[in-house]
Amino acid sequence: MLQIVHARTMQEIENVRKLFLEYQRWLGHDLTFQHFDTELAELPGKYAPPTGCLLLAVYENKPIGCVAPRKLKESICEMKRLFVRTEHRNLGAGRALVEAIISEAKKLGYAKMRLDTLPSMQRAITLYKSLGFKEIESYYDTPIEGTVFMELDLKQITNDLTI
């Protein structure tokens, strides 16, 4: 059975760290411009409460995916590091993680959620659009050409997506 849990223990945070590293390798892009090494070393770091959290997807007692919100501005957060291990895709973990992060962002008091993704990630873009995300202009400078920026108005989400 698939579960989405808060990564709070040292072991859970270490599982998130491993998934972040897998994400970077899978992505195939250098994330130095995002200070990725510092992010890994300081987990939970910028994802720590009270402005963020680390969410872990667990299937058959194994960590298979993750996602985390981080504060951008007073009422805006950013979805970061959504990743599901390749061999565990098609279980609904990606959707479950996104629904969970939306719920958590609302609980944390954010009004909007932003994200960036690559145009090659069509399945992710389709998922985001199905949940109400809209394409927007760039909200930061990135060296990765073609990056797609999206935003969700959390005030428009009326159903309670809880974990």
Q: Total domain count for the chain?
A: 1
CATH number for the domain spanning 6: value is: 3.40.630.30
CB-count exposure of residue 19 (10 Å: 0-12, 13-18, 19+): buried
Q: Taking a C-beta distance cutoff of 8 angstroms, is the pair 94, 127 a contact?
A: yes
Which strands, in side-by-side order, build the sheet including 62-73? Answer: 2-6, 55-59, 62-73, 76-84, 112-117, 148-153, 134-136
Residue 162 lies in a domain: no
**Range(s) of the domain holding residue 45:** 2-156
**Model pTM greater than 0.85?**
yes
Residue 161 lies in a domain: no
What is the per-residue pLDDT across 33-71, written as a single tens digit (0 to 9) for each?
A: 666 788 888 999 999 999 999 999 999 999 999 999 999
Residue 100 lies in a domain: yes
Task: State the average pLDDT over residues 14-42.
Answer: 82
Residue 163 lies in a domain: no
Q: Taking a C-beta distance cutoff of 8 angstroms, is the pair 99, 111 a contact?
A: no
What is the per-residue pLDDT across 113-141, written as a single tens digit (0 to 9) for each?
A: 999 999 999 999 999 999 999 999 999 88
